[in-house]
Structure 1
Amino acid sequence: MTGFEPPAPRLPPRLRGPLTAVLVTGPSMVPTLRHGDALLVRRGGRAVRPGDIVVAVFRSRPDLLVVKRAVRPVEGGWWVCGDNALGTDDSGTYGVADVLGRVVARYWPRPRRFSDRRV
């Protein structure tokens, strides 16, 4: 035994508490969300429905925390896609995602509430 242990895989921070702030990075949700938008994410509450904007982790990439649109439930998880078809890596690339929470509001730079209606 050499005493060397490979480093554990780095996992993204999980949502803590019922409401968590999340910052959008990248263009995958343009035009709905933009790089730098600050979001309020709710863990729990009502069940996720197709069309909801969610924070998720791909099963094939547990180190990658993403903001995407829930499309349909599959294999005990969700098929998720970005709104920007030209600039997104989503379930088409990484497969099924596990949803950690649902986006309920954007509080910076332009406050906007994401209600039960489609956005």
Structure 2
Amino acid sequence: MPERTRERGRERGQGEDGERHGLLRIGLAEVYNPSMVPTLRPGDQLVVRYGAGVRVGDVVVLRHPFAQDLLIVKRVVGRRPGGWWVEGDNPYVHNDSREFGAVPDELVVARALARLRPPPGAGQRSVAGLLSWAASAVRPVGSGRGPLGRLAGRSGRSGRSGRPERSLSRRLRAR
């Protein structure tokens, strides 16, 4: 099953004027499925940057090549003819480039900057539990550990062409 996300637009610098002045285009995406476990879990939020350059090791939000209204989260593991090779960090879920091949640049929506883990449920109110959550609630994601703990390289740097169309009030929800 694809890693579904829901994007919530929280952006600055919209329109040509904002891009001309180099303002950041930041948003949130919510993780729904386990294809990126252990890095990301269902319920995690991702702080993402639209239109950011992509390189090997980055976690990205992209449009599924066979269902482009479906947004998925994967890690970039290489550059191949036709685009980026992306895989989930969960070795038991194969809804990634092993199934659909390389992903063209124009389907990459955003690069993940940080993971926001939701607070523990009502059952975990101990001080130790809250301290443990606080220590791991916000973590950067991206270049670093790749699938199965392999260290991802830093080659294959590339920018995205074209600009994503977003607005503050627009919400995309994957099925």
Q: TM-score range by the shorter chain?
A: 0.7 to 0.9
| 1:93 aligns to 2:102 (yes or no) | no
Cα 1:36–1:28, aligned 2, differ >3 Å: closer, same or farther? Answer: same
1:24 corresponds to which of 17, 31, 39: 31
1:41 corresponds to which of 31, 39, 48: 48
Offset from partner CA, 1:26-72 (integer Å, 9 cap, x none) = 11000000011011110134x21111100011322212210000111
Q: Which has the higher helix share?
A: 2
Structure 1: stretches of 5+ with no match in the other structure: 1-11
1:87 Cα deviation from its structure 2 partner: 2.2
Output the aligned Cα RMSD: 2.3
- Alignment coverage as a number of residue pairs: 106
* Partner AA of 2:69 in structure 1: D
| 1:108 aligns to 2:153 (yes or no) | no
Q: Secondary structure at the match of 1:93?
A: helix
* Partner AA of 2:116 in structure 1: Y
Q: Secondary structure at the match of 2:98?
A: helix
Higher gyration radius (CA): 2
Q: Which has the higher strand share?
A: 1
User: For structure 1, which segment, 23-32 or 85-94, has the greater mean C-alpha deviation from structure 2 after superposition?
Assistant: 85-94
| 1:63 aligns to 2:69 (yes or no) | yes
Q: Secondary structure at the match of 2:36?
A: coil
- Identity of paired residues, percent? 42
1:118 corresponds to which of 144, 147, 162: 144
TM-score of the aligned structures, taking structure 2 as reference length: 0.54
Displaced runs of 4+ in structure 1, greater than 6 A?
12-15
TM-score of the aligned structures, taking structure 1 as reference length: 0.76
